[in-house]
Amino acid sequence: MREARAFTEAELLPHADRFDAEGALPRAFIAQLSDRGWLGAALSTRWGGGGLDAPTWGRLHGDVGRACGSTRSLLTVQTLVGLALERWAPEPLKARYLPALARGELLAAFALSEPSAGSDVQGLEARARPHGDGYVLDGVKRWISFGQIAHLFLVFARLEGGMAAFLVEGSSPGLTREPITGLLGVRATQLAELRLNGCFVPASHRVGGGDLPFSPVAATALDVGRYSVAWGCVGQAEACLAASMAHARTRRQFGKPLLEHELVARKLTDMLTDTRAARLLCQEAGAKRKARAPDSESATMMAKYFASTAASRISADAVQLHGASGCIQGSRVERHFRDARIMEIIEGSTQMQQVMIARHCALDDLEGDES
Ligand SMILES: Cc1cc2nc3c(=O)[nH]c(=O)nc-3n(C[C@H](O)[C@H](O)[C@H](O)COP(=O)(O)OP(=O)(O)OC[C@H]3O[C@@H](n4cnc5c(N)ncnc54)[C@H](O)[C@@H]3O)c2cc1C
């Protein structure tokens, strides 16, 4: 993992502001990530993935998030689609696509949200109807990370009263994409709106079965996404903290370094404590995921909830501590400040976590590890 940190500091951090300004991750850089095996790091070795366990994979996403939230997002969507396929897709579909996903030769995107269905995904309006030896999809998917460049989409649509998932090739007739630009943060995530207009998908590309109102395929993917985002937020918080400590030691006002002013020390103490707490919650979630503990999903929600809200607070405090020098592009804290806002919205907003954690987390889960 030291090697991962060294790579992100040498090869990613120096370019992250440019990626953000250009609104894209260069193909050559994505190829570097593929060469390192990071696009398939969590996929099973059976399919050519790295087989990293949850704690190791999480720390990798922390290191990447520390340098660039958009790059971490690419790894997130690729992995959440890959792991959802590993768990739910029929064997021939896995054999056809997972090795190329693991190598990073194919890029995948996750297409759940719609113009009228965000937090309330059960309000999906996209429809699938049986047709011949497959299904025809109609609808609009919005805010799809890396939708501009993905080769494959995991698309969710209503089917006979339930929610179904389909793996749709980006080149399918009836699928068009429009770039979405002007984002507040993670500006290099190449968002797109997808339009499905009589898009035919073979029956063999249906992922998971059943007719549940909320697809377990989506639940699996969002759980993986939350874990990755939580670690990415730890990375952002650490980056902001490091920059703020350095600034507070060197910037002098009223005849002494900022650090020696008590209100500044208090702010830094809160930043340090929040960052540590976020990392510990992510580590706990990682350990539970590795052990396949029954409460790993609620531990992941808590980690995402705390880490994303902490990253928002910490990045805002970092901008404040830097004064005007934190308000300019290229200051690093400024980009994390913008990116952190997004982390409270994606993979279940802060409010959705607040609702779900209270429902899912039993008191026993909190007390269980004390003996
Ligand atoms: C940069 C970016 C990347 C994204 N990438 C993807 C992607 O790859 N794939 C994908 O499918 N989607 C993606 N999304 C969409 C994202 O998942 C949604 O934005 C998110 O689910 C919230 O939905 P919404 O934006 O429609 O907000 P809404 O659901 O309309 O919510 C608006 C506000 O109301 C609050 N709210 C909603 N319901 C309640 C409630 N019951 N109680 C209290 N508060 C509530 C929310 O917390 C939020 O603050 C992305 C979004 C962004 C910004």
Q: State the amino acid at position 110 in one-letter form.
A: F
Angle, CA 61 vertex, CA 308 and CA 205 arms, to 5°: 100
Q: What is the mean pLDDT of residues 277-282?
A: 98
Same fold, 2-107 and 216-367: no
Q: pLDDT per residue over 313-361, tens digit each?
A: 999 999 999 999 999 998 989 999 999 999 999 999 999 999 999 887 7
Residue 145 CA: nearest ligand 1 atom is 8
Average pLDDT of the chain is: 95
- Please name the residue whose Cα sits nearest to atom 9 of ligand 1: 144
- Give the Cα separation of 157 and 127 in Å (integer): 5
Residue 122 has pLDDT above 90, yes or no: no
| Alpha carbon of 114 to ligand 1 centroid (Å) | 10
Output the pLDDT for position 367: 62
Q: Residue 230 pLDDT > 90, yes or no? A: yes
Nearest one of 238, 228, 252 to 333, comparing CA atoms: 238
Q: Domain coordinates of the chain in residue numbers?
A: 2-107, 109-207, 216-367
pLDDT of residue 361: 77
Q: Which of 22, 344, 347, 367 is catalytic?
A: 347
Alpha carbon nearest to ligand 1 atom 2, residue: 143
Query: Which three-class secondary structure state does DSSP give residue 334?
Result: helix
Radius of gyration of the chain (CA): 21
The minimum-distance atom of ligand 1 relative to the CA of 156 is 11
pLDDT at residue 236 is higher than 50: yes
CB-CB contact of 291 with 270 (8 Å):
no
- Where is pLDDT greater, at 161 or 6? 6
User: Are 208 and 88 spatial neighbours (Cβ–Cβ below 8 Å)?
Assistant: yes
**349 CA from centroid of ligand 1 (Å):** 6
Res 213: pLDDT: 87
Ligand 1, atom 42, residue with closest C-alpha:
351
Taking the C-alpha atoms of residue 300 and residue 309, their distance in angstroms, rounded to an integer, is 14
Q: Is-contact 167 208, C-beta < 8 A?
A: no
pLDDT band at 127 (very low <50, low <70, confident <90, very high): very high
Candidates 3.40.50.300, 3.10.20.600, 1.20.140.10, 1.20.1070.10; CATH matching 216-367: 1.20.140.10
Spatial separation of the C-alpha atoms in residues 125 and 137, rounded to whole Å: 11
Q: What is the DSSP letter of 142?
A: E
pLDDT at residue 125 greater than cutoff 70:
yes
- Which of 168, 349, 350, 356 maximizes ligand 1 atoms within 8 Å of its Cβ, making it the mutation to test the pocket? 349
What is the C-alpha to C-alpha distance for residues 68 and 59, in angstroms, rounded to an integer? 14
Of 2, 122, 99, 97, which Cα lies nearest the Cα of 44? 99
Q: To the nearest whole percent, how much of the chain has pLDDT over 70?
A: 97
Distance 304 CA to ligand 1 centre (A): 15
Whole-angstrom distance, CA of residue 102 vs CA of residue 88: 16
For the segment 19-49, what is each residue's pLDDT rounded down to a tens digit?
999 999 999 999 999 999 999 999 999 999 9
Q: Report the residue among 114, 144, 217, 346 best suited for mutation to probe ligand 1: largest number of ligand atoms under 8 A from its CB.
A: 346
Q: Which residues have CB under 8 Å from 11's CB, separation 6+?
A: 32
Does domain 2-107 sit in CATH 2.40.160.20? no
pLDDT band (50, 70, 90) for residue 248: very high
Structure tokens that stand for 85 in this block: 């396929």
For residue 270, the number of C-alpha atoms closer than 13 Å in the C-beta half-sphere is 15
Helices (H), the chain: 2-7, 13-22, 27-35, 54-67, 69-88, 91-103, 216-250, 262-290, 296-322, 333-343, 350-360, 363-367
pLDDT classification of 212: cutoffs 50, 70, 90: confident
* Catalytic annotation present for 347: yes
Q: Whose CA is nearest to atom 27 of ligand 1?
A: 118
Instruction: Say if residue 371's pLDDT is above 50.
Output: no
Q: 160-173, pLDDT tens digit by residue?
A: 889 999 999 999 99
Taking the CA of residue 355 as reference, the ligand 1 atom at the shortest distance is: 42
CA 232, chain centre distance (Å): 8
- Which has the minimum average pLDDT: 142-151, 265-274, 326-335? 326-335
Q: Is the pLDDT of residue 217 over 70?
A: yes
CA of 61 to the centre of ligand 1 (A): 22
Multiple choice CATH, 109-207, 2.40.110.10, 1.10.1740.10, 3.40.50.2300, 2.60.40.1930: 2.40.110.10
Instruction: Report how far residue 111's alpha carbon sits from residue 120's, in angstroms, rounded to the nearest whole number.
Output: 14
Q: How far is the CA of 153 from the centre of ligand 1 (A)?
A: 19
User: Judging by DSSP bridges, how do beta strands 175-179 and 256-257 pair with one another?
Assistant: unpaired
pLDDT digits (tens, 9 = 90+) for 287-319: 999 999 999 999 999 999 999 999 999 999 999
For residue 3, what pLDDT band results from cuts at 50, 70 and 90?
confident
Asked if residue 364 has pLDDT above 90, the reply is no
* Ligand 1 centroid to residue 143 C-alpha, Å: 9
CB atoms within 10 A of CB 152: 23
Nearest CA to ligand 1 atom 48: 349
Say which DSSP state 115 is in.
S
Q: Whose CA is nearest to atom 53 of ligand 1?
A: 342
What residue type is 300 in one-letter code? T
Is the pLDDT confidence value at 93 over 70?
Answer: yes
> Which residue has its alpha carbon closest to ligand 1 atom 14?
143
227/150 Cα distance (integer angstroms) = 22
Beta pairing partners, 130: 135
Pocket lining for ligand 1, CB < 6 angstroms: 77, 109-113, 118-119, 143-145, 183, 186, 189, 191, 342, 345-346, 349, 351-352
